[in-house]
Amino acid sequence: MRQLHVAKHAPEAHLVRGFLAAHGITAQVRGEFLTSGWGELPVDVCSVWVHDDRDYERARELLIEFLAGTQARRYSGEAWTCGNCGERLEGQFTQCWRCGATRPG
């Protein structure tokens, strides 16, 4: 298990963990319950750790793209309509916000 990212707060850490999970990489958030003590603790208490060391480099590359906005820009012009509820969604979304259905293909 290797540390991939030090988050500013727990919601950021969980966003990164969820992003990795969407790409098939298992990760864990550590230290999220220690953030209330940040005034007295080291700044890097809330972090994301990749379970399998073999996934670390891929996770690192995905995270760099994610934080730079590359992922959002790549699909921003590919709007789609949810086949389940008919909601129109922007291209960067892989799941319908209204009903939770996964984007086809």
Q: Is the pTM of this model over 0.75?
A: no
Contact 89, 97 (CB under 8 A): yes
Q: Please report which helix (H) or strand (E) contains residue 5, including its range.
A: strand 2-6
Q: Is 48 exposed, middle or buried (0-12, 13-18, 19+ CB in 10 A)?
A: buried
Alpha carbon distance 105, 6 (integer Å):
33
20 with 50, same domain: the answer is yes
61 with 90, same domain: the answer is no
17 with 51, same domain: the answer is yes
Which residues are bridge partners to 3 per DSSP?
A: 49
10 with 58, same domain: the answer is yes
54 with 96, same domain: the answer is no
Domain of residue 41, CATH code:
3.30.70.1530
30 with 56, same domain: the answer is yes
pLDDT by position in tens, the chain (length 105): 999 999 988 899 999 999 999 899 999 999 887 655 555 555 557 899 999 999 999 999 999 998 898 877 877 788 999 999 999 998 878 899 999 999 887
60 with 91, same domain: the answer is no
18 with 55, same domain: the answer is yes
Q: Containing domain of residue 50, as a range? A: 2-68
Tally of domains within the chain? 2
| Alpha carbon distances (Å) from 52 to 13, 21, 43, 96, 98 | 18, 12, 25, 29, 33
